[in-house]
């Protein structure tokens, strides 16, 4: 642990521990958005925000915000934060560490008697994780004015997303009040959710970009036949063709990962029909999840998958529908000036650091549409996340919080006069 940090590690730990106690008893650590437990966690955070001297409110998108007024009216806002919702049995640190770190920056500024020129806001975004409505990053999308048409009508049982946001304290009928134009910079601390920082004994990952995510659906149509009587050479086995494609996707993923930037490719969904032991499979559906820091690499991967489908169909005789893009989001590069402030803050605090891309999505990707934005990673044990075993050391989070503290002070000075 670096000494003489400007933040209090004990307060950070207390906030994380307090939230971790608010969970489904039989599924630690579970506190999903749009549930009573989530609101209980929100009440805990709001009390902590107020105790730190922050003015609290829920905005139109259902985000909890704590505001610390700056000295100079009209300069705009520097915003810090993350999310407090979890996936089922998700963990104590994903998102939560970022909210605790942001709150500690506000407390530490008070301890040091520092009043920024800009307003400072601490935020807990609504539903960063995939929610009960099947969609994610609802609060940050809303703040950026980018909730897609039709989302508010999505249903879970008898509940619409619109009503869910209202239940969380939001008001989606006020779209003009959701989009923010005053935010000059947004910073987020997050656990890495990967093994790089821990394996390299590096303190801080300065995130250069959030990878774009593309999902490609492939449908294989073969012919159902008796598994015991149909000769091996006379089959049109959809599973054999699909298995060949899965292997090729892995090969391509490894090949592309050796090139420029972060790249991964995974077949994460797979279904087979009729799924009977004594029937040659007639139909398979699979879904490729591909992630790229650099868009040209993704474009090249899509072309390769299209050609693979042609090749596998020719070789196996199984009909393969043209690969279908289910979703296709572009990479989000971090703002250079915020990256510079974060790297300078690492130097000032004595934190070792490296540049790296994020393979996971984050609220920062949506905030980057309306503000200068970047984020930092701190190590998590064995790179594990979205599991109850998720763990990050308090000292590592505290060091990352100190980096945020110094970066905020730098940005408070450097952003003045910019539009």
Query: 281 with 323, same domain?
Result: yes
Q: Residue 297 sits in a domain of what CATH number?
A: 3.30.70.360
The verdict on residue 373 lying in a domain is yes
Helix H or strand E segment including 47: helix 36-51
Query: 167 with 311, same domain?
Result: no
CA distance 368 to 362: 11
Q: What single DSSP character describes residue 279?
A: B
CA distance 336 to 373: 9
Query: 141 with 21, same domain?
Result: yes
Query: 355 with 278, same domain?
Result: no
Distances (CA, A) of 266 to 127, 195, 203, 290, 316: 25, 18, 28, 6, 22
Q: Residue 343 sits in a domain of what CATH number?
A: 3.40.630.10
DSSP H helices, 95-171, are 96-111, 138-143, 161-167
Query: 117 with 178, same domain?
Result: yes
Contact between residue 98 and residue 56 where contact means Cβ atoms under 8 Å apart: no
Return the bridge partners of 221, or none.
283, 319
Distance between start and end Cα atoms, the chain:
38
Query: 113 with 251, same domain?
Result: no
Contact between residue 73 and residue 176 where contact means Cβ atoms under 8 Å apart: no
Tell me if the bond preceding 274 is cis, omega within 30° of 0: yes
- Spell out the per-residue pLDDT of the chain, length 419, in tens: 565 789 999 999 999 999 999 999 999 999 999 999 999 999 999 999 999 999 999 999 999 999 999 999 899 999 999 999 999 999 899 999 999 999 999 999 999 999 999 999 999 999 999 999 999 999 999 999 999 889 999 999 999 999 999 999 999 987 656 689 999 999 999 999 999 999 999 999 999 999 999 999 999 999 999 999 999 999 999 999 999 999 999 999 999 999 989 999 999 999 999 999 999 999 999 999 999 999 999 999 999 999 999 999 999 999 999 999 999 999 999 999 999 999 999 999 999 999 999 999 999 999 999 999 999 999 999 999 999 999 999 999 999 999 999 999 999 999 986 65
CA distance 31 to 91: 10
* pTM, full prediction: 0.92
Query: 316 with 349, same domain?
Result: no
Q: Which of 307, 328, 349 is the C-terminal boundary of a domain? A: 328
Q: Which of 297, 328, 359 is the C-terminal boundary of a domain? A: 328
Tell me if the bond preceding 364 is cis, omega within 30° of 0: no
Distances (CA, A) of 228 to 220, 251, 279: 22, 32, 8
Count other C-beta atoms under 10 Å from residue 10's C-beta: 11
The count of domains in the chain is: 2
Query: 117 with 254, same domain?
Result: no
Query: 173 with 273, same domain?
Result: no
Cα torsion angle, 30, 395, 15, 163, sign: negative
Give the residue numbers spanning the domain of 53: 9-210+333-414
Cα torsion angle, 156, 160, 161, 164, sign: negative
Closest alpha carbon to 344 in 269, 416, 404: 404
Q: Which two tokens stand for residue 304?
A: 């390769």
The pLDDT score that the predictor gives to residue 176 is 58
Q: What's the helix, strand, coil split of the chain in %, to 5?
A: 35, 25, 40
The verdict on residue 254 lying in a domain is yes
Contact between residue 161 and residue 154 where contact means Cβ atoms under 8 Å apart: yes
Q: Which two tokens stand for residue 351?
A: 């934190």
CA distance 147 to 129: 15
């Amino acid at each position: 642990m670096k000494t003489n940090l400007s933040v209090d590690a004990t307060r950070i730990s207390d906030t994380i521990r307090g939230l971790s106690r608010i969970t489904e008893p039989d599924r630690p650590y579970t506190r999903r958005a749009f549930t009573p437990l989530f609101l209980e966690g929100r009440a805990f955070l709001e009390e902590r925000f107020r105790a730190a001297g922050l003015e609290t409110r829920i905005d139109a998108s259902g985000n909890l915000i704590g505001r610390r007024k700056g000295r100079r009216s009209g300069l705009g806002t520097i915003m810090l934060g993350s999310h407090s919702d979890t996936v089922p049995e998700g963990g104590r640190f994903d998102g939560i560490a970022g909210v605790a770190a942001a709150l500690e920056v506000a407390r530490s500024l008070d301890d040091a008697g520092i009043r920024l020129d800009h307003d400072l806001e601490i935020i807990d975004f609504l539903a960063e994780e995939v929610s009960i409505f099947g969609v994610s990053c609802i609060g940050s999308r809303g703040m950026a004015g980018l909730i897609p048409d039709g989302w508010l009508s999505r249903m879970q049982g008898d509940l619409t997303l619109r009503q869910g946001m209202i239940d969380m304290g939001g008001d989606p009928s006020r779209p003009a009040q959701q989009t923010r134009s005053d935010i000059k910079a947004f910073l987020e601390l997050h656990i890495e959710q990967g093994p790089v920082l821990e394996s390299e004994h590096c303190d801080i990952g300065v995130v250069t970009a959030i990878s774009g995510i593309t999902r490609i659906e492939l449908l294989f149509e073969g012919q159902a036949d008796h598994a015991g009587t149909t000769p091996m050479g006379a089959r049109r086995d959809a599973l054999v063709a699909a298995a060949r494609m899965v292997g090729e996707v892995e090969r391509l993923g490894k090949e592309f990962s050796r090139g420029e930037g972060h790249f991964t490719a995974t077949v994460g969904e797979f279904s087979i029909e009729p799924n009977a032991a004594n029937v040659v499979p007639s139909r398979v559906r699979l879904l490729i999840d591909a992630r790229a820091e650099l868009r040209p690499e993704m474009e090249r991967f899509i072309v390769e998958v299209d050609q693979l489908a042609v090749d596998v169909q020719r070789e196996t005789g199984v009909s393969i529908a043209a690969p279908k893009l289910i979703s296709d989001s572009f990479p989000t590069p971090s703002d250079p000036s915020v990256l510079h402030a974060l790297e300078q803050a690492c130097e000032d605090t004595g934190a070792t650091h490296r540049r790296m891309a994020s393979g996971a999505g984050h609220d920062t990707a949506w905030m980057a549409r309306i503000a200068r934005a970047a984020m930092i990673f701190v190590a998590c044990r064995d790179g594990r996340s979205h599991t109850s075993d998720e763990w990050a050391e308090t000292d590592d989070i505290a060091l990352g919080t100190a980096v945020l503290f110094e970066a905020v002070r730098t940005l408070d000075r450097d952003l003045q006069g910019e539009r």
